[in-house]
Structure 1
Amino acid sequence: MNPPTPIFELKNVTKQFGTFQSLSNINLQIYPGERVALVGSSGAGKSTLISLLNGTLQPTQGEVWVLGRNLAHLRPKSLRQIQRQIGTIYQQFHLVDNLQVIHNVNAGHLGRWSFFKAAASLIYPLEVETAFKALAQVGIPEKLYERTDRLSGGQQQRVAIARVLVQDPAAILADEPISSLDPERSREVINLLRSLNKNTGKTLITSLHAIEYARSHFQRLIGLRQGRILFDAPVEEVSIGMVEDLYRI
């Protein structure tokens, strides 16, 4: 039986911004269905790694493979097709505040819809049932026609997750999804992301400052320090000493 193909693979990847080296010689494989937390201090390279995985950044050196394709060798149309299979949730939510929730959720269709269909949906919302089901999955179906700026921060993050569910990607990347939320909302969102991974089988990669959530909700931890992988192990093999080394000043 052949081993599974990684959904993401980084081969000797380095990323520089001018003279600053954000990531250095990263080798990494992530397989379908895994639930992985990227942990480390601010500036460790977690967000850069997320951006390399979804193709919004290109490496300075090395190769990034997604769904069996080397992103550097893809034409723009093929790259967009791969990127539609990768849903990203950001800490800033990236929602249009003055629009109704349904329009923000329907943004998950934009990779498939024509310009005219998208424009028409702003006047008369399309795919209402799909949006309602996605909001039901994240626990706020009653907010379908609410103005987005009237929602709490936790509810807005749920709208962002519903948008990714409508996109229906093979993998979900979440870049510090709870950094702007209070502890109760943070717990709700992390519980929700774990449930989506378990219920849908979609690969989940989340960058987190909160090591306690990484330990309690994820199967595999990748510790980044100053742009390098300090450890990559199942959560039960990550010791207190390894964590202390990761965050030592």
Structure 2
Amino acid sequence: MALPLFDPIFELRQVTQWFGQFVALTGLNLHINSGERVALVGSSGAGKSTLLRLLNGTLLPTQGEVWALGQPLNSLSAAKMRRVQRQIGTVYQQFHLVNHLAVVHNVNAGHLGRWSFWKAALSLIYPQDLETAAKALHRVGIPEKLYDRTDSLSGGQQQRVAIARVLVQDPIAILADEPVASLDPQLSREIMNLLCGLAAIDGKTLVVSIHSIELAKSHFDRIIGLRAGQVFFDLPVHQVSDALISSLYQR
């Protein structure tokens, strides 16, 4: 069945975010359309991770409105928020895997939004939906790791497991917060090739915060530069010049 289309799929309207006395974001207005591949760039502390948390509903804005999948996240009930969040997958720099469990259990965590408690508990003893998990691992290139302990895998393999988990979740949009920051340059490019390729094949909207300007330019259609919690630029990738990037990172 075709997934519903929302355009824009994400929208921020005059969003400001405070953490105590610290202002993380100020007066943000932006929208992200269905199927776009968007890179968020900027120095540490510019607000990239905060922006992603607002988009997936794990953080609500101090001021302004955040809309996702046609829903105003500020005013949703807990049940409606969970339904929206099931359609937004997130990949993290720290992977957020349970290291002592087998890979299959971490991949099957992508089902948790729709499985009952009892099915999830049973799956920890007798893994359920093995075919779905195996297919996801095949797509990320490590089908042989299905029953390996997760902490026996390399960093690159663990990130592939995290991506496989999102494939099982099958969301409308995928967010990734510095997904290659802990990987070497070759592995970083392999993971970005994988993540962007899968998003393109499946027609997913993809929003990624990333430090590498080279990868941002080579893998994305649009780049949003954040500086001190504000949008410094928001442009198609071919309009992002070296001079503009230099200005973004100037102190």
Where on the TM-score scale, by shorter chain, does this alignment land: which range? over 0.9
Q: Name the counterpart of 2:173.
A: 171
What SS does structure 2 have at the residue aligned with 1:123?
coil
Q: Name the counterpart of 2:22.
A: 20
Q: Which residue of the other structure, out of 51, 54, 77, is the alignment partner of 1:52?
A: 54
Q: Name the counterpart of 1:189.
A: 191
The residue identity in structure 2 corresponding to 1:157 is Q
Native 8 Å contact 2:109 2:165 kept in 1: yes
In structure 1, distance between residues paired with 2:58 and 2:76: 13
Q: TM-score, with normalisation over the residues of structure 2?
A: 0.97
Q: Name the counterpart of 1:65.
A: 67
Superposition deviation, residue 4 in structure 1 = 6.4
Q: Which residue of the other structure, out of 103, 127, 130, is the alignment partner of 2:129?
A: 127
1:106 equivalent to 2:108? Answer yes
Superposition deviation, residue 183 in structure 1 = 1.2
Q: Name the counterpart of 1:243.
A: 245
Q: Name the counterpart of 1:91.
A: 93
In structure 1, distance between residues paired with 2:132 and 2:246: 45
In structure 1, distance between residues paired with 2:215 and 2:177: 14
Q: Which residue of the other structure, out of 146, 158, 161, is the alignment partner of 2:160?
A: 158
Superposition deviation, residue 49 in structure 1 = 0.2
In structure 1, distance between residues paired with 2:91 and 2:22: 26
Superposition deviation, residue 9 in structure 1 = 0.3
Q: Which residue of the other structure, out of 232, 235, 247, is the alignment partner of 2:234?
A: 232
What SS does structure 2 have at the residue aligned with 1:14?
strand
Superposition deviation, residue 153 in structure 1 = 0.1
Mark the CA change 1:4 to 1:108 in structure 2 (over 3 Å): closer, same or farther.
closer
Q: Name the counterpart of 1:37.
A: 39
The residue identity in structure 1 corresponding to 2:207 is I
In structure 2, distance between residues paired with 1:185 and 1:233: 27
Superposition deviation, residue 72 in structure 1 = 1.1
Deviations 1:52-73 (A, max 9, x none): 0000000000000001110111
* RMSD of aligned residue pairs (Cα, Å): 1.0
Native 8 Å contact 2:6 2:69 kept in 1: no
Superposition deviation, residue 227 in structure 1 = 0.2
What SS does structure 1 have at the residue aligned with 2:124?
helix
Q: What are structure 2's unaligned runs of at least 5 residues?
A: none
What SS does structure 1 have at the residue aligned with 2:25?
strand
Deviations 1:118-176 (A, max 9, x none): 00000000000000011111111111111100000000000000000000000000000
Q: What are structure 1's unaligned runs of at least 5 residues?
A: none
Deviations 1:160-202 (A, max 9, x none): 0000000000000000000111111111101111101211110
In structure 2, distance between residues paired with 1:4 and 1:186: 31
Q: TM-score, with normalisation over the residues of structure 1?
A: 0.98
The residue identity in structure 1 corresponding to 2:96 is H
What SS does structure 2 have at the residue aligned with 1:13?
strand
In structure 1, distance between residues paired with 2:195 and 2:248: 24
What SS does structure 1 have at the residue aligned with 2:191?
helix
Native 8 Å contact 2:225 2:233 kept in 1: yes
In structure 1, distance between residues paired with 2:6 and 2:101: 42
Q: Runs in 1 of length 4+ with deviation above 2 angstroms?
A: none
Q: How many residues are aligned here?
A: 247
